[in-house]
A and B are shown apart, each in its own frame.
Chain A
Amino acid sequence: MIRSSILLFAALLLIVSSPLTVHAQGAEGDAAPTLVPPVLLEFVEAPYPESEAASEADVAVVLQLSIAATGEVVDVSVLESGGEAFDEAAMEAARGFVFEPATSGGEPIPVRIGYRYEFVWAPLLELKSTADFKGVVRDRATKAGIAGVTVALGSGQSTVTDEGGAFEILDLPPGLWTVELSGDGIIPVSTEEVFEVSHVVEVTYDASVPEESDGDEDEVEFEIVFTIPKVKKQVVSTEILADQGRRVPGTQGDVLKVVENLPGVARAAAGSGDLVVWGAAPQDTRVYVDGIRLPRLYHDGGYRSVIHSDLVHSVELIPGAYGPTYGRGLGGLVSVQLSRLDDEGFHGSADLNGIDGALSARTRLSDDLHFAIAARRSHLDEVVGRTSSYFTDEDVASYVPIPRFWDGQARLQYRLGAETFLEVGALASSDAIDHALPSSDPALSTSKTTSLDFYRVFARYEKRSDDGSVVSVVGSFGGDSSSRVERFGATPIELGKDSRIYGLRASWRAPVAVGLMAEIGVDAELETFSLYRSGSIGAPSREGDKTVFGRPPPNQIGSDRWDTLIGSAAPYAQLDIGLFDGRLHLIPGLRLEPFLAQTSRITPDNGTNPAISIVRQDLVVEPRLAARYEITPALGVKAAYGIYHQPPQSEDLSAVFGTPPLGVSKAQHLLLGGSYKLTDRLELEATGFLSTSEGLAVRSLSQSPALANALVQEGTGRSYGGQLLLRQDRLGPFFGWMSYSLVRSERKDQPDSAWRLFDYDQLHVFTAVASFDAGAGVEIGGRFRYSTGFPRTPVIGSYYDAVNDRYQPIFGEYGAERIPSFISADLRVSKRFDIDSTELEVYLDVQNVSNHRNPEEIVYDPSFTQQDYISGFPILPMLGARWSW
Chain B
Amino acid sequence: MVALRKIGNILALAASGLLLTGCGVDFDDHLSLVEEARVLAIRSEPAEARPGAKISYHALVAQPAGAEAPAMSWAFCNERKPLAELGPVNLRCLEAKGENLEPLGEGVDAEGMIPRQACRNFGPAAPAATPDEPPGRPVDPDATGGYYQPVRIIAAGEPALGQTRIVCGLAGATAEQLGEFNRRYTANQNPALDRVSVLRPGEELPLKPGLEPDPANVVRAGQRLVLRASWPSCEEGPCPGAEPYVAFEVSSREVIDRRESIRVSWYATGGRFDQSGTGREADDRATFTENGWLAPKTPGLVRLWTVIRDDRGGVGWLDFLIRVE
Task: Give the Cβ gap from B182 to chain A, nearest Cβ, in Å.
Answer: 16
The residue of chain B having its C-beta at the shortest distance from the C-beta of A556 within the complex is: B140
Q: Are B158 and A800 in contact (CB under 8 A)?
A: yes
* Residues in chain A near residue B280, CB distance under 8 A: 442
Q: Are B80 and A870 in contact (CB under 8 A)?
A: no
Task: Give the Cβ gap from B102 to chain A, nearest Cβ, in Å.
Answer: 17
* Residues in chain A near residue B251, CB distance under 8 A: 494, 534, 559
CA distance A808 to B89 in the complex (A): 10
B side interface size, CB within 8 A: 95
The yes or no answer to B192 lying at the interface (CB within 8 A) is: no
* Residues in chain A near residue B136, CB distance under 8 A: 704-707
- Scoring A residues 356 to 395 as 1 if CB is less than 8 Å from chain B, else 0, what string do you get? 0000000000000000000000001101100010011010
The 6 A-B residue pairs with the shortest CB-CB distance in the complex, in nearest-first order: A384-B17, A271-B14, A441-B277, A556-B140, A861-B27, A871-B23
Q: Which of B14, B24, B261 has the most chain A CB atoms closer than 10 A to its own CB? A: B14
The yes or no answer to A866 lying at the interface (CB within 8 A) is: yes
Task: Give the Cβ gap from A411 to chain B, nearest Cβ, in Å.
Answer: 30
CA distance A869 to B10 in the complex (A): 10
11 contacts between A and B (CB under 8 A): A441-B277, A443-B279, A490-B144, A555-B142, A559-B250, A607-B177, A700-B84, A703-B90, A704-B136, A707-B126, A863-B30
CA distance A849 to B221 in the complex (A): 49
* Residues in chain A near residue B85, CB distance under 8 A: 546
From A384, A494, A702, A707, B135 is in contact (CB under 8 Å) with A707
CA distance A491 to B143 in the complex (A): 6
Give the segment of B198-206, B210-218, B224-232, B306-314 that binds chain A: B306-314
The yes or no answer to A859 lying at the interface (CB within 8 A) is: yes
- Scoring A residues 843 to 870 as 1 if CB is less than 8 Å from chain B, else 0, what string do you get? 0000000000100110101110010111
**Contact status of A557 and B19, CB under 8 A, knowing A270-B14, A392-B3:** no
Q: Are A800 and B161 in contact (CB under 8 A)?
A: yes
CA distance A326 to B158 in the complex (A): 56
From A301, A802, A876, B42 is in contact (CB under 8 Å) with A802
Q: Are B16 and A709 in contact (CB under 8 A)?
A: no
The yes or no answer to A401 lying at the interface (CB within 8 A) is: yes
Q: Are B27 and A442 in contact (CB under 8 A)?
A: no
**Contact status of A706 and B137, CB under 8 A, knowing A442-B279, A868-B25:** yes
Q: Which of A433-466 contact B (CB under 8 A)?
A: 433, 435, 437-438, 440-445, 448
- Scoring B residues 77 to 120 as 1 if CB is less than 8 Å from chain A, else 0, what string do you get? 00111111111101100100000000000000000000000000
CA distance A401 to B15 in the complex (A): 5
The residue of chain B having its C-beta at the shortest distance from the C-beta of A656 within the complex is: B140
The residue of chain A having its C-beta at the shortest distance from the C-beta of B14 within the complex is: A271
Q: Which of B289-322 contact A (CB under 8 A)?
A: 289, 291, 307, 309, 311, 313, 315
From B16, B80, B126, B143, A492 is in contact (CB under 8 Å) with B143
Q: Are A701 and B84 in contact (CB under 8 A)?
A: yes
The residue of chain A having its C-beta at the shortest distance from the C-beta of B92 within the complex is: A703
**Contact status of A402 and B17, CB under 8 A, knowing A546-B86, A555-B88:** yes
The yes or no answer to A41 lying at the interface (CB within 8 A) is: no
CA distance A689 to B172 in the complex (A): 50
The yes or no answer to A9 lying at the interface (CB within 8 A) is: no
- Scoring B residues 158 to 187 as 1 if CB is less than 8 Å from chain A, else 0, what string do you get? 111111000000011110010000000000
**Contact status of A868 and B27, CB under 8 A, knowing A443-B277, A803-B162, A810-B91:** yes
Q: Are B140 and A870 in contact (CB under 8 A)?
A: no
CA distance A303 to B31 in the complex (A): 38
By DSSP majority rule, is chain B's interface helix, strand, loop, or mixed?
loop
Q: Are B12 and A802 in contact (CB under 8 A)?
A: no
- Scoring A residues 674 to 686 as 1 if CB is less than 8 Å from chain B, else 0, what string do you get? 0000000000000
The yes or no answer to B196 lying at the interface (CB within 8 A) is: no
* Residues in chain B near residue A632, CB distance under 8 A: none
Give the segment of B33-41, B48-56, B67-75, B233-241 that binds chain A: B33-41
A side interface size, CB within 8 A: 101
* Residues in chain B near residue A551, CB distance under 8 A: 86
CA distance A869 to B140 in the complex (A): 34
Q: Are B172 and A705 in contact (CB under 8 A)?
A: no
CA distance A708 to B87 in the complex (A): 21
* Residues in chain B near residue A300, CB distance under 8 A: 15
* Residues in chain A near residue B158, CB distance under 8 A: 799-800
A-B contacts, CB under 8 A, total: 274
- Scoring A residues 511 to 524 as 1 if CB is less than 8 Å from chain B, else 0, what string do you get? 00000000000000
The yes or no answer to B66 lying at the interface (CB within 8 A) is: no
From A270, A557, A799, A869, B143 is in contact (CB under 8 Å) with A557
The yes or no answer to B272 lying at the interface (CB within 8 A) is: no
Give the segment of A339-347, A537-545, A765-773 that binds chain B: A537-545
Q: Are A554 and B15 in contact (CB under 8 A)?
A: no
* Residues in chain B near residue A706, CB distance under 8 A: 133-137
The yes or no answer to A352 lying at the interface (CB within 8 A) is: no
From B23, B94, B161, B265, A874 is in contact (CB under 8 Å) with B23
CA distance A833 to B13 in the complex (A): 38
CA distance A802 to B139 in the complex (A): 21
The yes or no answer to A801 lying at the interface (CB within 8 A) is: yes
Task: Give the Cβ gap from B3 to chain A, nearest Cβ, in Å.
Answer: 6
Interface residues of B (CB under 8 A from A): 1, 3-5, 7-21, 23-25, 27-31, 38-42, 79-88, 90-91, 94, 126-128, 133-144, 148, 153, 158-163, 171-174, 177, 250-251, 253, 261-263, 265, 275-282, 289, 291, 307, 309, 311, 313, 315
CA distance A399 to B17 in the complex (A): 10
The residue of chain B having its C-beta at the shortest distance from the C-beta of A436 within the complex is: B8
By DSSP majority rule, is chain A's interface helix, strand, loop, or mixed?
loop
Task: Give the Cβ gap from A435 to chain B, nearest Cβ, in Å.
Answer: 7
The yes or no answer to A509 lying at the interface (CB within 8 A) is: no
The residue of chain B having its C-beta at the shortest distance from the C-beta of A490 within the complex is: B143
From A534, A557, A709, B134 is in contact (CB under 8 Å) with A709
Q: Are A802 and B40 in contact (CB under 8 A)?
A: yes
Q: Are B83 and A537 in contact (CB under 8 A)?
A: yes
CA distance A3 to B128 in the complex (A): 87
* Residues in chain B near residue A547, CB distance under 8 A: 86
CA distance A866 to B31 in the complex (A): 12
Q: Are A699 and B134 in contact (CB under 8 A)?
A: no
Task: Give the Cβ gap from A880 to chain B, nearest Cβ, in Å.
Answer: 14
From A269, A554, A862, B29 is in contact (CB under 8 Å) with A862
* Residues in chain A near residue B173, CB distance under 8 A: 607
Q: Are A437 and B160 in contact (CB under 8 A)?
A: no
Task: Give the Cβ gap from B17 to chain A, nearest Cβ, in Å.
Answer: 4
The yes or no answer to A553 lying at the interface (CB within 8 A) is: yes
The residue of chain A having its C-beta at the shortest distance from the C-beta of B87 within the complex is: A808
- Scoring A residues 550 to 579 as 1 if CB is less than 8 Å from chain B, else 0, what string do you get? 110111111100000000000000000000
* Residues in chain B near residue A857, CB distance under 8 A: 13
Q: Are B88 and A808 in contact (CB under 8 A)?
A: yes
Q: Which of B38, B133, B144, B309 has the most chain A CB atoms closer than 10 A to its own CB? A: B309
The residue of chain A having its C-beta at the shortest distance from the C-beta of B248 within the complex is: A607
The yes or no answer to A605 lying at the interface (CB within 8 A) is: yes
The residue of chain B having its C-beta at the shortest distance from the C-beta of A400 within the complex is: B11
Q: Are A608 and B174 in contact (CB under 8 A)?
A: yes
* Residues in chain B near residue A18, CB distance under 8 A: none
**Contact status of A802 and B41, CB under 8 A, knowing A301-B14, A862-B27:** yes
The residue of chain B having its C-beta at the shortest distance from the C-beta of A354 within the complex is: B18
Q: Are A538 and B137 in contact (CB under 8 A)?
A: no
Task: Give the Cβ gap from A883 to chain B, nearest Cβ, in Å.
Answer: 24
Q: Are A400 and B143 in contact (CB under 8 A)?
A: no
Q: Are A401 and B277 in contact (CB under 8 A)?
A: no
The residue of chain B having its C-beta at the shortest distance from the C-beta of A541 within the complex is: B86
Q: Are B134 and A874 in contact (CB under 8 A)?
A: no
Q: Are B79 and A805 in contact (CB under 8 A)?
A: no
Task: Give the Cβ gap from B99 to chain A, nearest Cβ, in Å.
Answer: 12
* Residues in chain B near residue A869, CB distance under 8 A: 25
CA distance A21 to B10 in the complex (A): 86
Q: Are A556 and B139 in contact (CB under 8 A)?
A: yes
- Scoring A residues 495 to 518 as 1 if CB is less than 8 Å from chain B, else 0, what string do you get? 000000000000000000000000
Q: Are B160 and A710 in contact (CB under 8 A)?
A: no
The residue of chain B having its C-beta at the shortest distance from the C-beta of A494 within the complex is: B251
Q: Which of A12-37 contact B (CB under 8 A)?
A: none
